[in-house]
């Protein structure tokens, strides 16, 4: 699924990486616990989270996650956005809570990819 489609489905705003909207992702996960992302998520391309600190960006980089969507209207700091931009990670935000956002993406055909280690 193209990031532009995800943006439309979630009525999201692009904060970093507007020029990357034609990139595709093949799976997604939703978590506010970066330890769970590190332990259970493999080969992900999209992360939905309500956590808005730099640890999210560092985790995304380590796990080869290409895009992060902040849910619940969370507004990341300029420092977090700069960190994402320097690592070529697309950042979007949506007003939707995590559960409905994940459900909408799943219903649109984006599969989940979390597996137990």
The pLDDT of 68-79, averaged and rounded, is 96
E-assigned strand segments in the chain: 13-16, 27-30, 46-49, 67-70, 90-93, 111-112
Which value, to the nearest 10 degrees, does the dihedral of the CA atoms of residues 10, 90, 27, 4 take?
50
Question: What pLDDT, on the 0 to 100 scale, is given for residue 57?
Answer: 96
Q: Is 80 exceeded by the pLDDT of residue 102?
A: yes
Q: How far is it, in rounded angstroms, from Cα 59 to Cα 110? A: 21
The pLDDT of 86-114, averaged and rounded, is 92
Report helix, strand or coil for 47: strand
Q: Is 70 exceeded by the pLDDT of residue 48?
A: yes
The pLDDT of 63-75, averaged and rounded, is 94
Asked if 94 and 69 count as a contact pair (C-beta separation under 8 A), the reply is yes
Asked if 55 and 34 count as a contact pair (C-beta separation under 8 A), the reply is yes
Q: Is 80 exceeded by the pLDDT of residue 97?
A: yes
């Amino acid at each position: 699924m193209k990031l532009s489609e995800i943006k439309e489905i979630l009525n999201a705003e692009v904060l970093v990486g507007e020029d990357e909207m034609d990139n595709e992702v093949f799976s997604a996960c939703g978590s506010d616990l970066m330890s769970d992302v590190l332990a259970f998520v493999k080969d992900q391309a999209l992360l939905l989270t309500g956590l808005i600190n730099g640890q999210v960006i560092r985790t995304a980089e380590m796990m080869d996650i290409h895009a992060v969507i902040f849910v619940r209207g969370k507004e990341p700091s300029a420092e977090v956005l700069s960190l994402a931009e320097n690592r070529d990670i697309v950042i979007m935000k949506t007003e939707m809570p995590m559960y409905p956002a994940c459900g909408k993406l799943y219903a649109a055909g984006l599969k989940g990819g979390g597996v137990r280690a």
